[in-house]
Amino acid sequence: MFVAAPIVGINYGDRLGCLLGASLLLGIINAFIRPILLLLSLPLILVALGLFILIINALMLKFVGEIMPCFEVPGFWRAFFGAIIISIVSWLLSAFFRAAMDVSTCSRIIAKLSVCGAA
């Protein structure tokens, strides 16, 4: 959200608290409402080869803008491109942290093996 807001023109009143609150609310909505919407729109997702998921993500971002008065998403297309940017940044961060966890896990296994005398 921190990356997408300035790029696509989402207005949050230059208040960090508003952006943090919107990020938290988007996370909660994505955890509870988005799975239901994905299940209900499964036929559209299959017909559109998964591209309808981008529309659902944009609607979730627009919904957060409707709930929070300090967070304004000025149109569907800004929500659409903002959702794409948020998805890309989320994917990159999860890939980075997954790789970091894999390296630390391997290091612990090697350390345990060397302590046991197996290495």
102-117 average pLDDT score: 66
**What is the predicted pLDDT for the residue at 85?**
94
Q: First-to-last CA distance in the chain?
A: 45
**What is the predicted pLDDT for the residue at 5?**
86
pLDDT digits (tens, 9 = 90+) for 18-73: 999 999 999 999 999 999 999 999 999 999 999 999 999 999 999 999 999 999 99
How many helices (H) and strands (E) the chain has is answered by 6, 0
64-91 average pLDDT score: 93
Q: Are 79 and 73 in contact (CB under 8 A)?
A: yes
| pLDDT level of residue 116 (50, 70, 90 thresholds) | low
Phi, psi of 2 (to 5 degrees): -65, -30
**What is the predicted pLDDT for the residue at 114?**
67
